[in-house]
Amino acid sequence: MTTLNVNGKQVSVDVEDDMPLLWVLRDELGLTGTKYSCGVAACGACTVLVDGQPMRSCVMPASAMTGSKITTIEGLSADGKSHPVQKAWVQLQVPQCGFCQSGMIMAAAALLEQNRQPSDEDINAAMTNICRCGTYARVREAIHHATRSV
C-alpha cells in the first residue's frame, strides 16, 4: 500500500512498488489529464508537479513519491478558478491537437512559480516538453501573457 498526497488529498493505492506514478494517477485515481506518450521521460506529456517542481511521471515509481506533494493538471485549478497559465492558453488558443498541452501547462506553471518575469531564454530553458504540432511560439507568448496575471 502506497499513500500519496495528490492535489491536496491523501490517497492510498495498492499497487506494485515499481508502478510509474503516471499509471497510478490515470488508472488507479482516474486523473486522466496527465497523458502517456513516450514512456521514457523524453516528451513531457506526463509532466506533473512534485513539491512544485515539474517531473515526468511516466518513469517515476509511485512508491518514491510518498511524502511529496503531487499536483496534476486537475489540481492546478482545484479551487474552481483556472490558473493564469490555463487562462492564457485559452485566450491565445495555444494548442492544436492538444495532446501535449497538460504537460506544457504544468511546466509553465512551475516556471512562473519560480520566475514571475521569465525572458525568452528562461522559457526556452524551462520548457523542454515536445509538441508535435510545433506550438512553441504560442507557448512562449502565452507564458508572457500569463505573467500579467500571476
| Per-residue model confidence as pLDDT tens for the chain (150 residues) | 999 999 999 999 999 999 999 999 999 999 999 999 999 999 999 999 999 999 999 999 999 999 999 999 999 987 888 999 999 999 999 999 999 999 999 999 999 999 999 999 999 999 999 999 999 999 999 999 999 987
User: Could you tell me the CA-to-CA distances from 19 to 1, 14, 47, 62, 96 in Å, in that order?
Assistant: 12, 10, 16, 6, 31
Provide the residue type at 53 as one letter: Q
Distance, C-alpha 115 to centroid of its chain: 17
The class (CATH top level) of 2-76 is alpha beta
| Total residue length of the chain | 150
Confidence (pTM)? 0.95
Domain residues of the chain, as ranges?
2-76, 84-146
What is the torsional sign of CA 23, 74, 95, 134?
negative
Provide the residue type at 20 as one letter: P
CATH code linked to domain 84-146:
1.10.150.120
What is the C-alpha separation between 118 and 7, in angstroms, rounded?
26
What is the C-alpha separation between 150 and 142, in angstroms, rounded?
12
